[in-house]
Amino acid sequence: MEEAQMVEVVKSKEHGGRIRQCTICNQRRAALKRPKTLEQICRECFYGVFEEEIHRVIVDNQLFKPGERIAIGASDSTVLAYVMSELNRRHNYGLDLFLLSVDEGITGYRDDSLETVKRNEIQYGLPLKVVSYKDLYGWTMDEIVKMIGLKNNCTFCGVFRRQALDRGAALLKVDKLVTGHNADDIAETVLLNILRGDIARLSRCTFITTGEDGPIPRCKPFKYTYEKEIMQNLNQQLRMHTLRGWITSPLNVSIYSPNAYRGFAREFIKDLERIRPRAILDIIKSGEDFRIATSTKMPEQGTCERCGYISSQKWCKACVLLEGLNRGLPKLGIGRSRGVNGERNKDVKQCGKKNIESKQCGTLDF
Amino acid sequence: MACNTATCQSGGCYKDTDAEQQHPINEQNPSTNGVAPSEDNNHHPSNLCLKCKTNKSIAATAAAENGGRFCVDCFRGNLFGKFRFAVTSNALISPSDNVLVAFSGGPASRVALQFVHEIQHKAQKNFDASASRDRSLPVFGVGAAFIDESAICPVSSNEFDEALEDMRLIVTNLAPPRKKFHVVPIESVYSSDCCNGRDRLKELLNAVSDVTGREDLLVHLRMLCLQKIALENGYTKLVIGSCTSRIACHILAATVKEESTGSPLAWFMPNESPALEEGKLAERWDSIAVGGDADLEELEKQMDLKAEASRFFLEGRGYSLAADIQYVDARWEIPVVLPLRDCLMQELNVLCMLDSLKTVEVFNGSRVGINGLVTSFVKLLQEENPSRECTIARTAGKLTPFHFNKIPEADDCNDHLAIQRRQKKFNLKPNESLPPESFCPICSSPLNNSFTSVSGCENGHRSPEDFIATCCTSCQFQILPSEPSALGHFCSILPQQIVDQAKDGSCGNQRWLREQIKDCLLSDSEDGT
């Protein structure tokens, strides 16, 4: 008995003699500090505010309509799959949810994710479709990196991924695509666009829904959710064995990302978050508030001559990049064009027979 | 426009890899970057000046990337050319002006002073040389002002006196024409009848708990001080030496400091989460499995109310950024002009070194908090790509400026000048159909929401809550204390100009509103409520 009492005393001394209470419910003991607000809260309240905030974002921005078919594009994001299906159930959104996964063909990175995705499918009963770069384009990321080296990988992967999601979504006949872009991602993008001088993208990158006039609109319900909180949510669930036996890579980071320019912005934002956590949201808000003239030259929307995908140029970026890969010209499509786009196409068409073309989208209604 | 087109390789990230690729090629094919091939190119391919192709270029140091392509004369000419182009194409300085140059002793303001002197000197020579009947246009006057911040940042009196002497000498040597040198302590933002200005200032700054907020408040006070000097000494323009590099840092810092409460973000703040009744939360979680969501409704209702209430709050920096980075900032009584806007800090440093322009560092200029982080970030980016600062400035340069970002139209007649000033102060323009721009009284950033709190300004008593409502949310967060008692005290020790600006701003809006709806008002008497 005495021993137990000693332990009690020691414990309470560690806490300064006072046990920290959750600042929301004032009942349970605080289990963690909220990254966004630095509040000390208990686990249950953490789930509560986390989910409620996302629900508010969905409602306030009118992201969905009842009866819509929604593809969850970041299907290896357990948290997104869980939140979407949970909120759909709890608040009766009436949505038809699907999982859409992209296999980039990066050894060691995607293998784990695909396992997770398959478990998501089982856990939440959400139908799953996997589209791979190999099927769509004839190249895996590993093969691409072997060809182009370690610079500009993200350009290839990003462009291909975007099209892959759209094509996969079209195959599933969904109305909208949901991606797991979080507050950190969007803040990084705002900064990147300032640094790179891309005023057109700067005006669009904070939109919660994009592509409404395109093939498949996409929305980002995690727009105001901190990456750290998503990780904490996942962490908490793992500790509670809610996700028993699941494999999760600690941070879903591609092995090729350290060389990307985005890394500069990411490091800066990490440092910023340490000084002032709400700065991440501030960057997003600044991005929304920038006074950008609507007459600013925006690219005109057309379709790609080669594959029919949406494009502001004669050929979509994926086709241009593929052309480069197939011809052994890794820099094609990277950097500013030297001549008119048409000039390049002329050369291409003359020796086009040997190329592995990306699949024609004849059956897909873009 | 924002950068030297001959050497700048800006164009965003896309150019990065190209630039790297090109460098090895340069030796064989110099025409791609503009260096003219010549006979002795085989020995020293990049030793000749880009422009005149006769003189040797400045030995390229690690930092003087731009300097490395030009010879001394062409470099100086190029830099001065940027300054002069900014001044002439934006009418920054006109012959009837009396120009005050903010002189901190640092390289940027040193070059600003030097260049302003050079155009004044030239104007004076032309004036002297022309016949008396041709002397229609006067020569503008120039003065220099130094803000003494020793109240906040103590320096040893020896160091200080020496530095001051150096600066006085610099200004004296920039003659003819003679220039006055004003040395003003920063505590003079408090009126002269206030005897303990120094203590009040220290108290004010100590009341700000956020380091970034404190630094920013000091910047605003500096500007107030300069405005005061300019007004009291009959100056008509204020020149500050903000260069591209400084502007790039400001752009990023402003982007990260935005805060708004007019969106779902409102309820993310600590201690403002809706309080649920005891025990209900636990029940709620248990009931989820069963399907009872009554408490969630309660939670939602509270959040709805909060969002509703916060919809009338004001927004800050991202909206106002364009105002701070143009050539002209005419929000102030004395318009502020930025003639060095297109010059890089390293160019200015190189010029100071080449021409032996003496610079003096009096107060420790290193920045802390967010400003410090941004400064080191931009430095890192600039090292990685020397055109980064240009690109950042150019991107933000595409944001829509405000109506006050151009020199206000004024006749040379002095009568009209007074009228102009009053019009500007009250934001009354006869043909404006939009509500007048209102500004944050602390940082002067234009506010996005025209429906500021219009509580009674007639009776002259303003509560601290009224005052907060007139401030931008960025200042509300990082400068104003959150504790109500501390806030009240803070408001009481603010300089009078800031308090007046809050009063004038909201009065102006109320007046405008009344003007709009006067046809529908039943009685002529002032609304007492």
* Cα A72 from Cα A277, distance rounded (Å): 28
Q: Between β-strands B180-185 and B336-337, what pairing exists: parallel, antiparallel or unpaired?
A: unpaired
Q: For residue B401, what is the nearest residue in chain A, using CA coordinates?
A: A291
What would the pLDDT profile of A144-178 be if each residue is shown by its tens digit? Answer: 998 888 888 888 888 998 888 888 888 888 999 99
Q: Nearest chain A Cα to B21, which residue?
A: A331
**Alpha-carbon gap, residue A277 to B270, rounded angstroms:** 12
Which of A52-66, B309-323, B487-501 reaches the highest mean pLDDT?
A52-66
> Taking a C-beta distance cutoff of 8 angstroms, is the pair B169, B126 a contact?
no
Q: Write out pLDDT tens, residues B241-269.
A: 999 999 999 999 999 986 443 333 333 43
Any A CB within 8 A of B283 CB? no
pLDDT band, residue A358 (cuts 50/70/90): very low
pLDDT in tens, A282-324: 999 999 988 887 766 667 778 888 888 888 889 989 999 999 8
Size of interface A-B (CB pairs under 8 A): 182
Phi, psi for B223 (deg, rounded to 5): -65, -40
Give chain B positions within 8 Å (CB) of A55.
300
Residue with the larger pLDDT of the pair B382 and B4: B382
pLDDT tens for residues A238-269?
776 555 444 444 445 666 666 677 888 999 99
Q: A interface mutation test: which of B398, B405, B474 has the most A CBs within 10 A?
A: B398
Average pLDDT over residues B34-59: 62
Which ranges of A205-261 does DSSP label H, i.e. alpha helix?
A: 227-239
Asked if pLDDT for residue B221 goes beyond 70, the answer is yes
Q: Which range (A63-72, B304-313, B346-355) has the least confidence?
A: B304-313
Strand order in the sheet with B98-102: B180-185, B141-148, B98-102, B237-239, B336-337, B328-329
What confidence tens digit (pLDDT) does each residue in B129-170 have? 887 776 677 899 999 999 999 988 888 889 999 999 999 999
Residues of chain A with Cβ-Cβ distance to B269 below 8 Å are 37
Compare all CA atoms of chain B with the CA of A297 and give the residue at the minimum distance.
Answer: B398
Residue pair A22/A45 in contact (Cβ under 8 Å)? The answer is yes
| A295 annotated as ligand-binding | no
Tell whether residue A203 is among the known ligand binding residues: no
- Mean pLDDT confidence for B358-376: 88
What is residue A82's predicted lDDT score, i.e. its pLDDT? 87
| pLDDT, average across residues B357-378 | 89
Query: At residue B53, what is the residue type?
Result: K
Partner residues linked to B336 by β-bridges? B238, B329
Asked if residues A46 and A32 have their Cβ atoms less than 8 Å apart, the reply is yes
Percent of residues, chain B, with pLDDT higher than 90: 40
How far is B468 from B222, CA to CA, in rounded Å?
Answer: 21
A75 is in an annotated binding site: yes
- Residue bearing the bigger pLDDT, B449 or B522: B522
φ, ψ (nearest 5 deg) of residue B128? -65, -35
CB B102 within 8 A of CB B240: yes
Answer yes or no: is A73 a known binding residue.
yes
Query: B521: pLDDT confidence band, cut at 50, 70 and 90?
Result: confident
Do A289 and B258 count as a contact with CB atoms less than 8 A apart?
yes
Kindly report, residue by residue over B479-506, the tens digit of the pLDDT.
Answer: 999 888 888 889 888 898 888 888 776 6
The minimal CB distance from A282 to the residues B256, B281, B399 is found for B256
Average pLDDT, stretch A39-60?
A: 92
Instruction: Give percent of chain B with pLDDT exceeding 70.
Output: 66
What pLDDT score was predicted for residue A162? 85
* More confident position, A237 or B340: B340
Where does residue A36 rank: exposed (0-12), middle (13-18), buried (19+ CB within 10 A)? Answer: buried
Instruction: Dump pLDDT digits (tens) for A344-355.
Output: 444 434 433 333
User: B24 falls in which pLDDT band (50, 70, 90)?
Assistant: very low
Q: Which residue of B has its CA nearest to A335?
A: B14
**Contact of A162 with A218, CB cutoff 8 Å:** no
Where is average pLDDT lowest: A239-253, B15-29, B325-339, B440-454?
Answer: B15-29
Model confidence at B304, pLDDT cuts 50, 70, 90, reads low
> Which pLDDT does position B35 carry in this prediction?
41
Q: Are strands A209-210 and A218-219 parallel, antiparallel or unpaired?
A: antiparallel
- B334 touches B236 (CB < 8 A): yes
Interface of B with A in 193-212 (CB under 8 A): 212
Q: Residue B382 CA to chain centroid, in angstroms?
A: 21
Q: pLDDT value at position B362?
A: 85
Q: Do A275 and B370 touch (CB under 8 A)?
A: yes
pLDDT bin (cut points 50, 70, 90) of residue B470 is confident
A76 is in an annotated binding site: yes
pLDDT over 70 at B65, yes or no = no
Residue among B214, B268, B277, B474 with most chain A CBs within 10 A, to mutate: B268
DSSP-derived 3-state class of residue A218: strand
* pLDDT band at residue B300 using 50, 70 and 90 as cut-offs: low
Give the 3-state secondary structure of residue A78.
Answer: helix
- Mean pLDDT score of chain B: 75
* Both tokens assigned to B267: 């309820």
CB contact under 8 A, B398 and A278: no
Q: Looking at beta carbons, which residues of chain B come within 8 Å of A195?
A: 12-13, 381, 388, 391-392, 395
Q: pLDDT (tens digit, 9 = 90+) per residue, B113-123?
A: 999 999 999 99
